[in-house]
Amino acid sequence: MCSQSDSGPVVPTTPLIAFLERLQLTALKTFGSTNFDPKTYVDLSLKFTLSKTQLAFDNLPKSSNGSVSATDLNGFIESFLNAAGEDLVDAEPPNFVPEPKGFLPAVVNPVVREWALEVHSLWKNLSRRVDEGVLEHPELHTLLPLSKPVVIPGSRFREVYYWDSYWDGYKWVASNQNRNIFASNFIPISVKLFNSDLKLVEKVRQSLQRSGLIRAAGIATSLTNSGQQWDFPNGWAPLQHLIVEGLVKSGSKEAKSLAKDIAVSWIRTNYVAYKKTSFMQEKYDVEKCGELGGGGEYIPQKGFGWSNGVVLAFLEEFGWPKDLKIDC
């Protein structure tokens, strides 16, 4: 458990993780930071025992700064490690049907309904199970030896994450808070303790509308354009969902109207981006309908678990009338 007094990097306590982090650092020195994805290296699994793999790695000729020639390092990885993601295999979701009974009854626009069914079908693309090898030799893998199929977020996020299933409790820490405005400031409205207080809901609604976070295509994560992915102008599906859900649950007519406006904008940007790219995206640029998000340490990811789920949840909640256009 970490406390506010803790500082410094996290020290791995698992020998396999410690070794893969050494490999990761060596790869960074060898290949450089351009197009370098640190996650790739901790997702690798071993072909042989850790001791045999480490010995071979330690015997690689190294320069004074710890780098290894690209030829030697690539040869080592190919000989001793499996590719990232090989320990997960495709799995048909149990009980999956192309159009479930009672699917989105309030979506009557045929174009939107067809798209919603396409999004629903993506669960098949994101369903995985852990390979038998992980269950037989868990010491060779960083992946947990789960016995049941899972739904992954997509792209580089090859495994199941707690955040892709969401969370159901929230904690505010009063000390050391950043006083800048963030979408996360409004997440507590999704908790019954807050959304059941109509006076508080009204204050939150007015504050959100004045905040500058609500843009043409959804709620911005912050107002700071830092170039990082969890900042302006990016919008993320979980933040849209939590805020919209809270406003709807409040029972306030004004709050629900605002929630619907946000949801409609978010559905539209997802639809237009999907039609341009044939993929649901990890995040979106909320400044302009249909634009993809960016920034951060890796290229925007496709898939994408929480984006799929939030679009379908919004269509379930608000529907889509026949005469309402879906294009920007």
CA-nearest of 15, 139, 136, 151 to 96 is 151
**Straight-line distance from the first to the last Cα atom of the chain, in angstroms, rounded to the nearest whole number:** 46
Which stretches within the chain are classed as H helix? 15-31, 38-42, 50-58, 70-80, 110-125, 132-136, 192-195, 198-210, 237-249, 253-277, 305-318
Mean pLDDT computed over 171-175: 38
Which pLDDT band holds residue 224 (cuts at 50, 70, 90)? very high
- Where residue 299 falls (left for φ over 0; alpha for ψ -120 to 50; beta otherwise) is beta
d(CA 152, CA 146): 13
Query: pLDDT at residue 287 above 60?
Result: yes
pLDDT at position 182, please?
94
Would the pLDDT of 179 be above 50?
A: yes
Rounded distance, CA 169 to CA 62, Å? 48
8 Å CB contact between 82 and 44: yes
Segment 53-84, tens digit of pLDDT: 999 999 999 998 878 999 999 999 999 999 98
Predicted model pTM: 0.80
- Asked if 138 and 19 touch (Cβ cutoff 8 Å), the reply is no
Lowest-confidence region among 6-15, 235-244, 298-307: 6-15
| Mean pLDDT computed over 260-287 | 96
Per cent of the chain over pLDDT 70 is: 86
